[in-house]
Amino acid sequence: PAWKQGTHSYWDNYLKYHHVKTEYSAVDHIAGTKFDGDYSQNVFNLSTEYGRENKLSEAWSWVPQAQLQLSYVGGYDYTDSQNLSVSADHDWSLIGRVGFDLVKKLDAKNDSKLYLKASLLHEFLDGYDVTTSYQNDRYTDDGDQSGTWGVFGLGYSLQSGKNQYLYFDAERYVGHDFERTYNIRAGINWKF
């Protein structure tokens, strides 16, 4: 987060662009038929997040947060190797999040931290529709993605160089349409 000088609060804003290319191969084990397909999508995200650190002790703090993210997901059309046609319209997503991090500072020298986090998220829009067709058969899934879910997680970060941080993060999603959904990330951040 971008901490504001002289305060314990931050306000992060970002605009991201993603180009997603998906390739797949599937086998119908009953008929022995193999399906191969690929498609691309463009995705834009605009996000704003506010948080404030509240010290509980010298080593412990909790950081309540609120975030709003607007996304545009481009549609796609493709026909796979068995002439199965798939078409998805473009989509808008608006997700609100409230949550907190419970942070334990481990070592001031390398700014290492262990944190637990919990968030409640809500998708306000309904999601895109996907139509699948083969010969004379057609199926449309009206993708209603609106709903509320929770995320619980833990992570670790440390400063590994000047303005450089290593991190590890693991999350568990619960509620809505998430069953046994986990997200595990590791990486390097540079701060300017």
User: Is residue 86 a contact partner of residue 78, using CB atoms and an 8 Å limit?
Assistant: yes
Q: Tell me whether residue 25 is in a domain.
A: yes
Give the single-character DSSP code of 4: P
> In the sheet where 76-79 sits, what is the strand order?
76-79, 85-88, 129-134, 137-142
Q: For residue 4, is it within any domain? A: no
> Within a domain: residue 52?
yes
Long-range residue pairs from 105-111, CB within 8 A, at least 24 positions apart, any chain: 105/58, 105/59, 105/60, 105/61, 107/158, 110/158, 110/159, 110/160, 111/157, 111/158, 111/159, 111/165
Alpha-carbon span 87 to 79, nearest angstrom: 9
pLDDT digits 0-9 by tens, 147-180: 999 999 999 999 999 889 999 999 999 988 777 7
Does residue 126 fall inside a structural domain?
yes
Query: What is the residue whose two structure tokens read 């314990």?
Result: 8
In-domain check, residue 57 = yes
pTM: 0.79
pLDDT, residue 15, reads: 96
Beta bridge partners of 65: 51, 99
Query: Is residue 150 a part of any domain in this protein?
Result: yes
Q: What's the Cα-to-Cα distance from 166 to each of 14, 109, 169, 184, 186, rounded to whole Å? A: 20, 14, 10, 14, 8
Local confidence pLDDT in tens for the 192 residues of the chain:
565 656 788 999 999 999 999 999 999 889 888 989 999 999 999 999 999 999 999 999 999 999 999 999 999 999 999 888 999 989 999 999 999 999 999 998 888 999 999 999 999 998 778 899 988 899 988 877 889 999 999 999 999 998 899 999 999 999 887 777 899 999 998 877
Nearest to 51 by CA among 34, 35, 67: 67
- Is residue 2 situated within a structural domain? no
Give residue 6's pLDDT: 64
CATH code where residue 141 lies: 2.40.128.130
The range of the structural domain enclosing residue 34 comes to 9-190
Number of domains forming the structure of the chain: 1
Q: Is 29 left (phi over 0), alpha (psi -120 to 50) or beta?
A: alpha
Burial of 71 (0-12, 13-18, 19+ CB in 10 A): middle
**What does the CA dihedral 23, 21, 134, 36 come to, rounded to 10 degrees?**
-10
